[in-house]
Amino acid sequence: MKNTILSFVILSLVLTSCSKDDENNKIFWLDELDYYDGEKAYYFVDVGGKTAYLGGVLEIYNLLDNSYIDRITVESFDLITRSDGYPLCRIWGFSGKLNKSTYLLARNCLNSN
């Protein structure tokens, strides 16, 4: 009986820690995105959704003419709060087109936890 309870407690701890790691790896936003490749800024872009995951791939398209811009593999997130309290974030990723780190700037952005 003690072994069963101990096994249940250990399993619960493992499952809980895994779900918390997953939550820290996800970010979402409600408003527009801009893309900066280090040389050029692309305003009002689309990635087909409003979430990003560490290790995930985002295809970036220009909203004005639906042209393809780039594909990035998400590496990290920077959560930023403007002085007026508005939440922003940088979604850093490795560019498949330029072979360097670039980022998306997301408005009204929040971590999932």
pLDDT of residue 1: 58
Better pLDDT: 68 or 10: 68
Range of the structural domain that residue 36 is part of: 2-111
The values of phi and psi at residue 15, to 5°, are -65, -40
Better pLDDT: 19 or 43: 43
Region class of 99: left (phi > 0), else alpha (psi between -120 and 50), else beta:
left
pLDDT of residue 2: 54
Closest CA to 60 of 36, 85, 90: 36
Q: How would residue 8 be classed by pLDDT, with cut points 50, 70 and 90?
A: very low
Does position 54 have pLDDT exceeding 70, yes or no? Answer: yes
Question: Which position has the token pair 């007026």?
Answer: 84
Q: How would residue 113 be classed by pLDDT, with cut points 50, 70 and 90?
A: low
Question: What's the average model confidence in pLDDT over 51-79?
Answer: 96
Side by side, which strands form the sheet with 26-29? 51-53, 26-29, 109-111
pLDDT of residue 17: 44
pLDDT of residue 111: 80
**CA atoms of 15 and 12, how far apart (whole Å):** 5
Q: What 3-state class would DSSP assign to 3?
A: helix
Question: What's the average model confidence in pLDDT over 58-66?
Answer: 96
Q: How would residue 19 be classed by pLDDT, with cut points 50, 70 and 90?
A: very low
Exposure class string for 8-45: b at 16+ Cβ within 10 A, else e: eeeeeeeeeeeeeeeeebbbebeeebebebeeeebeeb
Give the count of domains, the chain: 1
